[in-house]
């Protein structure tokens, strides 16, 4: 008897070092990994379908006799066979074929084929189907079970991965894979029964139930996987909060002085969020709080109050932003707010070199700079803080988890009861991309939440219109009218399916075109290839109203705050996800005047494209938009690659399985309280080496 999670795949017949390396890219290193490498879907090769009943976009096994077979020369040379049974005729087409294959596929030959049916110029067609030449004298039995389709990688075919999974299942027995969920959570299926079922479901199983993830065998494994992720997050929270943090008491005099100098009043939602953050910071354990609010809701001023509380207690605050543009804007805001209070600000970015950089590093290290603002440069090894009490991470989904952990480790060491412990800073994470409730419950269990769910007083709803790109000339006239009236506008170029260089070329072409069509306007251009100081100069000129119309790529998606800009045009809007469209729209609507967003699209629109643009036209509510974006694109696309880098779910699907999350949270809490000995094993089984970085 052996523990399969410790047995290398190289113990299986036919697996050598080369194949083991390929399997490792699929996160398969042990026999247990193979057992948990579950099918994506199933195909039914257990019955023959009449040719006359075939439907496009379905897969089927068919049998028939070749009535014609010729090499056809069109845009691509292909071997085309007409296959007929007593119900109809279908075209079987091969674009890649050999002379030997052509000789075998002659008139009168009987074939059994399996493949996806597509609609072609001559009716139903199968492209490169699996096929076997058959004979009435030597019948070939049909499959007696559904065929699993597994996730694969380079150099690993479906045939090979099926064989390996079958070998792994043969190693499975009741003593080599133990139950880790308590009996009250197992219900109808044990772990081993569920695994065997899902690798080889019987032909009586209804495939449409498996396709929706609602079969009880799937639910058994989905629950265990989601519970393991919940436990990992809760364990990480406990691990972080075992470290001490400086208790930062609220200094009301400093706070009141700060608020009195502002030209606006905070909303009730901002004050509530600020109170929650302030309370956390008074504790001697690290705050772990996520502040989310819609675009333009005023998260930055709330973070400034948190920074002020840390500074008033003699601690430093670090604010990390994902782009030079956003960090420069934060620098501008915090200088306006903090310099009258005598608070020195350091700004650290990639463009700083030589003596200027050394000066900033020294002021951070000696503690004279109490507020430190920067990009990724902040977590570099050379950056030493004198006493970091609070770290603020803006637009957190733009950072990899490793990066956020690196900044968290900039805290100081302190002696506690004779031991040297790492003192962690309080951490405030901010996002203007509202996180759907499903994802929040699944991915941010280790964080407390504050939500700013109202806009500042006087802000108006952004009016959004959806316009076919054939009416582009009308839109250009609208831009001219807005700029002549003293307002400013953005024209955003998006070509996300192409390379960045092509997007930049497109922006340059459009900028030149608009300069010809709108000679009376000052038109600027900003994109990702400009040097940091060039981008900042362009944005400063736009802020100072020296530029009427700014042509940009999506580099302006986050953080750009120009109150006088009241019109934004987004090209190729059908190519973007809802959350990104909403972020871009949020570049306007920051002043008291009515703002407008025009979404230009190219017809024809896909169904998903129509849904996205309809949603943008109908609502300005970022939380509703986030939920719809999750529904349309899934969690990986919504959060981005960096954020989901460790979300390697084997069977769970966060959007599909949302209905289970309340039950999962209860089960995770019960396991921690009643079965703590199982927690580590569950995390190791489903997450393994990714555990440390599931969430920072």
> Does one domain contain both 475 and 425?
no
Kindly state the average pLDDT of the residues 153-165.
Answer: 90
Counting DSSP H helices and E strands in the chain, the numbers are: 25, 23
* Closest-CA residue to 219 (of 191, 199, 196): 191
E strand intervals along 287-362 = 288-293, 316-320, 345-348
Same domain? 268 vs 152? no
Residues 267 and 195 in one domain: no
Per the domain annotation, does 83 fall within a domain? yes
**Considering the domain boundaries, does residue 381 fall inside one?**
yes
- Sign of the dihedral through C-alpha 383, 388, 394, 398: positive
* Percent of the chain predicted with pLDDT > 90: 48
Domain region containing 334? 252-452
**Number of domains observed in the structure of the chain:** 4
Residue 121's nearest CA partner among 93, 79, 83 is 93
Residues 150-168 have a mean pLDDT of 91
Answer yes or no: is 658 within a domain. Answer: no
Residue corresponding to tokens 């400086």: 246
pLDDT given at position 559? 61
CATH code at position 605: 3.40.50.300
3-state secondary structure of 511: helix
Q: What is the pLDDT of residues 338-387, one digit of tens each?
A: 999 999 999 998 778 889 899 999 999 999 999 999 988 887 888 999 99
**Do 121 and 168 have their domain in common?**
no
- Which of 293-297, 309-313, 326-330 has the largest mean confidence? 309-313
- 361 and 259 in one domain? yes
- Are 443 and 473 contained in the same domain? no
pLDDT over 90 (residue 318): yes
Q: Which residues are CB-contacts of 551 (< 8 A; sequence separation ≥ 6)?
A: 490, 491, 493, 507, 510, 511, 514, 523, 524, 525, 526
Do 206 and 305 belong to one domain? no
pLDDT in tens, 192-216: 999 999 999 988 899 889 989 999 9
Distance of alpha carbon 167 from alpha carbon 146, whole angstroms? 18
Helix axes 532-543, 324-338, angle to 10 degrees: 50
Task: Give the residue from 452, 474, 490 where a domain finishes.
Answer: 452
Above 90 in pLDDT, residue 531?
A: no
Whether the pLDDT of residue 399 is over 70: the answer is: no
For residue 111, is it within any domain? yes
- 335 in the same domain as 448: yes
Same domain (yes/no): 91, 121: yes
Match 């463009």 to its residue by tokens: 351
Sheet strands (E) in 54-109: 59-73, 77-85, 88-94
CA distance 109 to 201: 33
| 645: in domain | no
Instruction: Answer yes or no: do 523 and 584 share one domain.
Output: yes
Indicate left, alpha or beta for 595 from its phi (over 0: left) and psi (-120 to 50: alpha).
beta
pLDDT at position 275: 96
Residue 170 lies in a domain: yes
pLDDT at 497 over 50: no
Is residue 517 domain-shared with residue 605, that is, in the same domain? yes
Q: Evaluate whether 111 touches 131 at the Cβ level (below 8 Å).
A: yes
Are 568 and 497 in a shared domain? yes
Rounded to whole angstroms, the Cα distance separating 650 from 26 reads 11
Q: Which residues contact 110 (CB under 8 A, 6 or more apart)?
A: 63, 64, 65, 66, 133, 134, 135, 136
Residues 541-551 as b/e (b if ≥16 CB within 10 A, e otherwise) read ebbeeebbbbb
CB contact at 8 A, 449 and 280: no
Q: Note if the pTM is more than 0.85.
A: no
- Confidence class of residue 5 from pLDDT cuts 50, 70 and 90? confident
Is residue 256 one of the residues assigned to a domain?
Answer: yes
- Domain final residue pick, 425, 452, 479: 452
> Is the torsion defined by CA of 360, 361, 364, 367 positive or negative?
negative
Q: Is residue 680 part of a domain?
A: no
Mean confidence (pLDDT) of the chain: 86
pLDDT value for 494: 80
The CA distance from 627 to 437, in Å, is 8
Domain ends where: 212, 242, 269?
A: 212
Q: What is the domain-level CATH number for residue 118?
A: 2.40.50.140
Asked if 341 contacts 574 with a C-beta cutoff of 8 angstroms, the reply is: no
69-120 tens-digit pLDDT: 999 988 889 999 999 999 999 999 999 899 988 889 999 999 999 999 998 8
Kindly report the three-state secondary structure assignment for every residue of 448-467: EEEEECCCCCCCCCCEEEEE
Three-state DSSP at 280 gives helix
Alpha-carbon dihedral angle through residues 500, 504, 507, 509, given to the nearest 10 degrees? -130
- The DSSP 8-state label assigned to residue 309 in this structure reads H
The answer to whether the peptide bond before residue 604 is cis (omega within 30 degrees of 0) is yes
| Alpha-carbon separation of residue 239 from 262, 437, 694 (angstroms) | 39, 25, 13
Which among 481, 319, 469, 440 has a CA at the least distance from the CA of 389? Answer: 319
Lowest-confidence pick of 359-368, 511-520, 577-586: 577-586
Cα(340)–Cα(261) distance, integer angstroms = 9
Residue 391 in tokens: 């770290």
Query: What is the four-CA torsion angle of 366, 367, 369, 370, rounded to 10 degrees?
Result: 170
């Amino acid at each position: 008897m052996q523990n399969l999670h410790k047995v290398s795949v190289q113990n299986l017949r036919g697996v050598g070092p080369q194949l083991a390396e390929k399997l490792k890219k699929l996160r398969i290193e042990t026999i247990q990994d193979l057992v948990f490498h579950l099918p994506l879907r199933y195909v039914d090769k257990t019955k023959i379908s009449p040719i006359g009943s075939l439907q496009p976009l379905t897969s089927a096994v068919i049998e028939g006799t070749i009535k014609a077979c010729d090499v056809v020369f069109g845009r691509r040379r292909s071997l085309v066979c007409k296959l007929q049974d007593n119900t109809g005729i279908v075209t079987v087409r091969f674009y890649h074929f050999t002379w030997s294959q052509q000789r075998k596929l002659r008139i009168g030959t009987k074939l059994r084929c399996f493949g996806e049916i597509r609609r072609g110029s001559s009716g139903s067609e199968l492209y490169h189907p699996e096929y076997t030449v058959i004979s009435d004298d030597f019948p070939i039995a049909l499959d007696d079970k559904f065929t699993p389709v597994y996730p694969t990688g380079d150099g690993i075919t479906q045939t090979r991965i099926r064989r390996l999974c079958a070998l792994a299942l043969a190693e499975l027995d009741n003593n080599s894979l133990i139950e880790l969920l308590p009996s009250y959570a197992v219900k109808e299926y044990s772990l081993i029964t569920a695994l065997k079922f899902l690798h080889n479901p019987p032909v009586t199983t209804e495939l449409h139930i498996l396709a929706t993830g609602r079969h009880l065998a799937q639910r058994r494994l989905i629950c265990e996987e989601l519970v393991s992720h919940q436990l990992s997050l809760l364990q990480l929270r406990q691990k972080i909060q075992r470290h001490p943090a400086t208790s930062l008491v609220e200094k009301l005099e400093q706070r009141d002085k700060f608020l009195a100098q502002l030209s606006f009043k905070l909303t009730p939602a901002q004050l509530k969020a600020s109170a929650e953050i302030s309370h956390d910071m008074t504790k001697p354990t690290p705050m772990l709080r996520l502040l989310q609010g819609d675009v333009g809701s005023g998260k930055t001023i709330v973070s400034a109050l948190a920074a002020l509380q840390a500074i008033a207690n003699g601690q430093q605050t670090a604010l990390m932003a994902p782009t030079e543009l956003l960090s420069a804007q934060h620098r501008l805001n915090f200088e306006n707010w903090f310099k009258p209070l005598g608070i020195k600000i350091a700004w650290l970015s990639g463009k700083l070199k030589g003596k200027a950089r050394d000066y900033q590093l020294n002021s951070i290290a000696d503690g004279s700079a109490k507020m430190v603002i920067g990009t990724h440069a902040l977590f570099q090894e050379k950056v030493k803080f004198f006493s970091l009490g609070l770290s603020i991470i803006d637009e957190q989904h733009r950072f990899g988890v490793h990066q956020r952990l690196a900044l968290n480790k900039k805290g100081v060491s302190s002696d506690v009861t004779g031991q040297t412990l790492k003192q962690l800073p309080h951490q405030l994470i901010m996002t203007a991309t509202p996180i759907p409730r499903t994802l929040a419950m699944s991915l941010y269990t280790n964080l407390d939440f504050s939500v700013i769910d109202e806009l500042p007083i006087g802000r108006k709803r952004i009016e959004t219109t959806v316009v076919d790109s054939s009416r582009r000339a009308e839109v250009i006239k609208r831009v001219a009218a807005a700029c002549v009236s003293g307002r400013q506008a953005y024209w955003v170029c998006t070509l996300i399916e192409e390379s960045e260089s092509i997007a930049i070329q497109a922006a340059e072409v459009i900028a030149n075109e608009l300069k010809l069509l709108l000679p009376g306007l000052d038109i600027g251009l900003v994109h990702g290839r400009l040097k940091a100081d060039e981008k900042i100069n362009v944005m400063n000129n736009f802020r100072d109203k020296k530029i009427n119309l700014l042509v940009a790529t999506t580099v302006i998606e986050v953080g750009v705050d120009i109150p006088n800009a009241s019109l934004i045009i987004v090209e190729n809007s059908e190519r973007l996800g809802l959350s990104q469209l909403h972020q871009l729209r949020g570049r306007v609507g920051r002043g008291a005047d009515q703002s407008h967003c025009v979404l230009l699209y190219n017809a024809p629109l896909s169904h998903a494209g129509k849904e996205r643009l309809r949603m943008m036209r109908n609502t300005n509510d970022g939380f509703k938009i986030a939920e719809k974006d999750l529904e349309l694109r899934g969690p990986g696309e919504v959060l981005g690659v960096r954020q989901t880098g460790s979300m390697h779910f084997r069977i769970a699907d966060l959007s599909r399985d949302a209905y289970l999350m309340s039950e999962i949270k209860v089960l995770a809490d019960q396991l921690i309280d009643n079965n703590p000995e199982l927690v580590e094993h569950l995390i190791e089984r489903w997450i393994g080496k990714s555990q440390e970085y599931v969430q920072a």
